[in-house]
Chain A
C-alpha cells in the first residue's frame, strides 16, 4: 500500500515536471483535461489513461491500458476508483469502462467533435506520467487491420519526437481539449533500420531510445515540428546528451470522425458502435472494381448469392474502382438498410439487393 502511494506520488511529480515544460497554452489545456483523466493502474504500475466521456461514470481507454475485467484507476487528486469493462471496439482499440465511484459533476466529460477543422497542428498526448506534445502529419490515411477481419480504418498520421517511454495507447487531444483518439500504432521501417531526421541510418538498437520510425516518407514534414516537444529535448539533453532536433516517431490514430462514431455508439443503449458489413473479402480487380475473394458463410453476401470471383462495380450508386473504395463506401452504409450492388459476373452484370448486417467486432 505504501509502495503504491509512493509510486503515485512519483508519478504526479513527473507529471508536474513534464507539464512545466509545455507551452503556456498547452499547459492550460492540460490543466483543464486533468480532472477528467484517470490513470489506469495494473500490477501496481501506471498502465495508461482513461478519459471521462459521460458524467454518469463512463470512461474510454485504449485496450492496452486496461488489464482484466475489473481494472483500477487513480484520479488526478489521488483517489482510487474501480471500473468494469462494458464493451470494446476492435477497430479503434477503444474500451468503454464504467465506474460506480464517480461523483457526477466533479469533472467535465470530454467529447470527440469529429474532424478537427480548426487548422491547429498541435496535439497533446496524455501518457500515464503526463502530457506529451505531438503534431499532425497527414489527416487522410487509410489503414487496414492486419487481422482476420481485414477491416479498413481511416487514420490520422501524427508525429512526435521519440521518447524513452512507451507511448502506445496514449489518449490524444486537440489543442482545444477535444478527444481525437488514441495512439494505436507506430510506423516501422521496411528494413527495420532506424533513421534520424537527416536521413542517416542508425543500427537497430544502437541509437539509444530514439529514432524516427521512418518508413516510406518517414522524414516528410519534419520541418513542421521545429518547435516540437520541449519536454523531449530537455529530458534527452540532460539524460542522454543529445542536442538539437531529435528523431521523429510516426504514429497513427484512427481518424476523429471514426472515433466520434465509436464514442456515440458507446454511449448508445447498446453501448457499442455499429458498422455495416456484407461479409466479403476483396482485392483490386483488373480493369476496375473490387473482386470478391471469399464470402463468409451465412453473411448477407452469401445469402444474396455473391460468389468469389464476382467483381463489385457499384454500391449504392457509388462507383467502385478498387477494394479500398468498396470498404470506404461500406463505412457509409447503415445496418439494416437495403443497398443495391452492380456485380460483374463473367460477361454479364447483375443488380443485386442486399441488406448489410452489423459487424460483430
Chain B
C-alpha cells in the first residue's frame, strides 16, 4: 500500500476528506482487504483519541490541576468509556448460568427428585423380599397401581409437585379407605393398651389453649421449662429448669 493512499485512509477515518474524496477512497478500499484493515486501525485510533478528549482538562498539567484544586476543589473523574460491545458480556453470562442451573436441576430431579413416592416394604403386604424401598416415578399414578395394596391409611401426598400443605384432611377422597379403628387408650410408658371401656368420641373435648402457644402458626417461642419429678427441699415444689433451645428436647404426644 502506497504511503499517499495510506494518508488518505487516515484522513478518511478522521473525517478530514470532502464527501467526493471520501466516496472515491471508499470505493477503492472496498476490494482491498489490507486497506480495510488499515482503515479499521485508523478508526480505532480515532476512538482512542476521542476518549482523551473526555479527560478533564485540569489533569493535563500539574500546574493547572493544582490551580483547579485551589479554586474549585476536586471534581469526580468521569468514568472511562467502555467498549461498545462490552454490555453484551453481562446478559450472555447470565443466560449461560441460567441454562447451566436448569440443566443441573433437571439432572438432579431425574436421579432422585422430590416428587417420588417411597413405599416401605413394611407398608405393603406384597411379600416383597427386597430390602430396597420401591420408588415410583412422579408421573406415574401410584394410587392406580399400588392403591389396592397400600395400607388403608396411607396415600400419596406429594406426587407431581403437589403441595403437601394444600392437603385438606376433610376432603372426601375416594382413594381413602376406612381408617384404622380407634384405640380406647394406651399407656405411653408401657406401650400397652389397657382393657378399659371405650372412650366415646363424642364425649371427647378439645382443649383450647389460647395463650400457651402459637399452635396455629406452628411455632413456639421463648425458653422451655423442664419440670422434674424431684422435689425442691426449699420450696416443696418440683424442680424446674429453663432451657434456651428446645431443639434437643424430646416431646411426646
- Using a CB–CB distance below 8 Å, which chain A residues touch chain B? 64, 93, 114-115, 138-155, 166-169, 183-188, 190, 209, 211, 213, 215-217, 249, 251-252, 255, 257-258, 261, 264-265, 268, 270, 274-284, 290, 293, 296-300, 303-305, 307, 313-314, 316-340, 342-343, 345-355, 357-361
A268 to B: closest C-beta gap in Å: 7
A97 to B: closest C-beta gap in Å: 20
- Using a CB–CB distance below 8 Å, which chain B residues touch chain A? 112-118, 120, 122-123, 133, 151-158, 164-165, 167-169, 176, 179-189, 191-194, 199-201, 203-220, 222-229, 231-232, 234-242, 244, 246-253
Contact call B180/A283, Cβ cutoff below 8 A:
no
Interface residues of chain B: helix, strand, loop or mixed (majority): loop
A212 to B: closest C-beta gap in Å: 12
Sample 21 A-B pairs with CB under 8 A, ordered by A number.
A64-B231, A142-B220, A144-B225, A155-B225, A168-B238, A190-B241, A215-B241, A257-B212, A274-B199, A284-B248, A296-B188, A303-B180, A304-B153, A305-B122, A322-B219, A325-B218, A328-B215, A335-B201, A347-B114, A350-B117, A360-B186
Closest B residue to A148 by beta carbon equals B189
Beyond A143-B240, A187-B242, is A328–B187 a contact (Cβ under 8 Å)? no
Contact call B253/A251, Cβ cutoff below 8 A:
no
Cα–Cα distance between A357 and B120 once the two chains are bound (Å)? 25
Contact call A141/B222, Cβ cutoff below 8 A:
yes
B183 to A: closest C-beta gap in Å: 4
Contacts of A331 in B (CB 8 A): 207, 209, 215, 253
| Contact residue among B113, B157, B215, B240 (Cβ-Cβ distance under 8 Å from A349) | B157
Contact call B191/A296, Cβ cutoff below 8 A:
yes
Cα–Cα distance between A274 and B201 once the two chains are bound (Å)? 11
Contact call A281/B235, Cβ cutoff below 8 A:
no
Contact call A149/B252, Cβ cutoff below 8 A:
yes
Contacts of A357 in B (CB 8 A): 182-186
Closest 4 CB pairs of A and B: A154-B212, A166-B236, A336-B201, A168-B237
| Contact residue among B152, B176, B248 (Cβ-Cβ distance under 8 Å from A283) | B248
Contacts of B151 in A (CB 8 A): 304-305
Contact call A335/B204, Cβ cutoff below 8 A:
yes
Count of CB-CB pairs between chains A and B under 8 Å: 359
Closest B residue to A345 by beta carbon equals B118
Closest B residue to A163 by beta carbon equals B235
Contact call A141/B218, Cβ cutoff below 8 A:
no
Cα–Cα distance between A316 and B235 once the two chains are bound (Å)? 41
Contact call A298/B112, Cβ cutoff below 8 A:
no
Contact call B250/A281, Cβ cutoff below 8 A:
yes
Contact call B251/A282, Cβ cutoff below 8 A:
yes
Contact call B120/A307, Cβ cutoff below 8 A:
yes
**20 further contact pairs, Cβ within 8 A, besides A277-B252, A350-B157:** A141-B223, A146-B227, A151-B253, A152-B253, A168-B237, A169-B236, A184-B238, A185-B240, A186-B232, A188-B232, A216-B242, A281-B251, A332-B206, A335-B199, A343-B157, A346-B133, A347-B114, A353-B180, A355-B180, A355-B181
Contact call A146/B228, Cβ cutoff below 8 A:
yes
B2 to A: closest C-beta gap in Å: 76
Beyond A149-B189, A186-B237, A326-B253, is A319–B209 a contact (Cβ under 8 Å)? no
Contact call A168/B231, Cβ cutoff below 8 A:
yes
Contacts of A149 in B (CB 8 A): 188-189, 252
Contact call B186/A334, Cβ cutoff below 8 A:
no
Contacts of A144 in B (CB 8 A): 224-227, 249-251
Contacts of A322 in B (CB 8 A): 219-220, 246-247
Contacts of B225 in A (CB 8 A): 141-144, 155, 185, 187, 252
Cα–Cα distance between A336 and B186 once the two chains are bound (Å)? 13
Closest B residue to A342 by beta carbon equals B164
| Contact residue among B204, B211, B242, B250 (Cβ-Cβ distance under 8 Å from A282) | B250
| Contact residue among B188, B199, B206, B224 (Cβ-Cβ distance under 8 Å from A333) | B206
A156 to B: closest C-beta gap in Å: 8
Contact call B219/A143, Cβ cutoff below 8 A:
no
Determine which residue in A217, A257, A352, A353 has the highest number of CB atoms from chain B within 10 A of its CB, and name it: A353
Contact call B183/A299, Cβ cutoff below 8 A:
yes
Closest A residue to B198 by beta carbon equals A336
Contacts of A184 in B (CB 8 A): 227, 237-238
Contact call A283/B191, Cβ cutoff below 8 A:
no
Contacts of A146 in B (CB 8 A): 226-229
Cα–Cα distance between A322 and B247 once the two chains are bound (Å)? 8
Contacts of B215 in A (CB 8 A): 318, 325, 328-329, 331-332
Contact call A185/B227, Cβ cutoff below 8 A:
yes
